Structure 1
Amino acid sequence: MTLQLQLKDYRLTTAEILYHLPDHPQILQSFVWQDYDLAPDFPTLRRFLDFWRRSLDGKLHSVKVASNKLIQPASVRMPEAYLTLH
């Protein structure tokens, strides 16, 4: 299933969601969400955040998103130095 999504240009997306605790709004709590999503619009993440706003008590503070394409051309890096250890 995940390979099929990756072939359709879905990327593994991780979001760090900071939200205010309902009983102590001055305290922030962190929640990490991860799923396959389409960059740069992130429709799956947007649906999750809409669900959060509608259904959960903790008010959102901020969301940091990281995404990486898993299927990509191979890359070759040449070393900058060779070291020999005895």
Structure 2
Amino acid sequence: MEGYGLTTAEILYHLPDQPSLLQVYVWQEYDLAPRFPELKSFLDFWSSTIEGTLHSVVVAHSNLIAPMELRNAASMQSIH
């Protein structure tokens, strides 16, 4: 399970009928970092099937298993 987590990709692509315009597509899936086989598979599918030419891809990844965040309480109040 190491490296497995939620992956988000912001994909910019050229519109087929207006190549000077860019469109944004957000893709999200559970994937393995740092190789990202699911994302690569999706991008291969995109390149072979969809007419919009890829411009750029920005990837963010968050591990499913991570150290727990602990914070001290700033104040404590009682409600009656």
- TM class by shorter-chain length? 0.7 to 0.9
**TM-superposition CA deviations, 1:17-49 (whole Å, max 9, x none):** 000000000000000000000011101000000
Work out the CA distance in 1 between the residues paired with 2:56 and 2:72. Answer: 39
Segments of 4+ moved more than 2 angstroms: 75-79
Matched with 1:4 is: none
Q: Which runs of 5+ in 2 are unaligned?
A: 76-80
Q: Report the structure, 1 or 2, having the larger strand content.
A: 2
Q: TM-score by structure 1 length?
A: 0.78
Work out the CA distance in 2 between the residues paired with 1:73 and 1:29. Answer: 36
Q: Report the structure, 1 or 2, having the larger helix content.
A: 1
**Paired-residue identity, %:** 58
Q: Which runs of 5+ in 1 are unaligned?
A: 1-7
Q: TM-score by structure 2 length?
A: 0.84
Of 15, 22, 25, which residue of structure 1 is paired with 2:16?
A: 22
